[in-house]
């Protein structure tokens, strides 16, 4: 019980610092959500010869945070498609439920705390196509209009 009391004491110290500011913070937070209408469809992709047949939203988020997929042993590594900065931001918002800073913060902590792999970043479609040819069990995402430029990929599902 002593430890529980200590936590409450510590929490009350924190509350006294921030209680009056919390509603303002929350207001800023909810106002900060951008409108997501009018976005081009984006698909989850893997290599043409991939053994992956499905990926749950849970596993997708988990592997992009540097973790291990729960129910899909074939998933190798996630690849961030950074060809388009806006696409990257939308992926973080819609799938990871994070901002760029929040995502970087979590990934770097995990790399140095739990020995996780760095998340691969690719900045052009040709390189991404070649990467998925060489590493067919990796995952990435692309817009619908970019699919036609890719020779060595297979779409797994529409992300949004």
Partner 1 sequence: MDTSHITRILILCLGLYSNILSAEVKITGFASFVAGKAISGDEFLADYPKTGIYDKDWSLSPDTSVGIQLTSDISDTTSITVQLTNNGASDFETRSEWAYINYQHSSQLSIQLGRKRLPLYYYSDTFDLGYAYNWIRPPADNYTWQISHYNGISFIYEPQLSSIDILFNLYFGREDSHNNELLSLFSGVPVNETWKNIAGLVSELSGDWYEIRLAHMSSQLDREINNTQSDKDAKQSFDGISINLFYGNFTFLSEFNFYERSLADIEITTHMQSLAYTYKKFTPHITRSEFEQTINSSNGDEHHFTNSIGIRWDYKPNIAFKIQYDKTTDKGITIPVLGDAELFTLGVDIVY
By the criterion CB under 8 A, which residues form the site for partner 1? Answer: 3, 6-7, 9-11, 13-14, 17-18, 25, 28-29, 32, 58-59, 61-62, 65, 67-71, 73, 96-99, 101-102, 105-106, 108-109, 111-115, 117-118
Cβ of residue 96: shortest distance to partner 1, in angstroms? 8
Nearer residue to partner 1 within complex by CB, 40 or 71: 71
SS3 106: helix
How many angstroms separate the CA atoms of 160 and 147, rounded? 15
**Nearest residue to 72 (alpha-carbon basis) of 132, 129, 159, 139:** 139
Q: Do 59 and 70 form a contact (C-beta atoms < 8 A)?
A: yes
Smaller CB separation from partner 1, 53 or 68: 68
In the bound state with partner 1, the residue whose beta carbon lies nearer, of 12 and 126, is: 12
| Minimum CB–partner distance for residue 160 and partner 1 (Å) | 15
What does the radius of gyration of the chain's CA atoms come to, in whole angstroms?
Answer: 20
The nearer residue to partner 1, 112 or 148, going by C-beta atoms, is: 112
142 within 8 A of 45, measured Cβ to Cβ: yes
């Amino acid at each position: 019980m002593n430890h529980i009391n200590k936590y409450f004491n510590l929490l009350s110290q924190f509350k006294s610092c921030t209680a009056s500011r919390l509603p303002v913070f929350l207001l800023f937070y909810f106002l900060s959500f951008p409108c997501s209408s009018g976005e081009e469809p984006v698909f989850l992709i893997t290599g043409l010869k991939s053994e992956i047949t499905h990926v749950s939203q849970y596993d997708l988020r988990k592997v992009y945070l540097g973790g291990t997929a729960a129910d899909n042993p074939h998933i190798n590594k996630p690849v961030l498609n950074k060809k388009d900065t806006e696409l990257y931001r939308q992926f973080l918002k819609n799938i990871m439920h994070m901002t760029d800073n929040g995502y970087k913060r979590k990934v770097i902590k995990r790399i140095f705390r739990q020995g996780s792999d760095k998340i691969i970043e690719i900045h052009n479609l040709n390189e991404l196509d070649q990467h998925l040819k060489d590493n067919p069990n990796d995952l990435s995402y692309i817009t619908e209009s970019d699919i036609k430029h890719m020779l060595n990929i297979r779409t797994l599902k529409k992300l949004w």
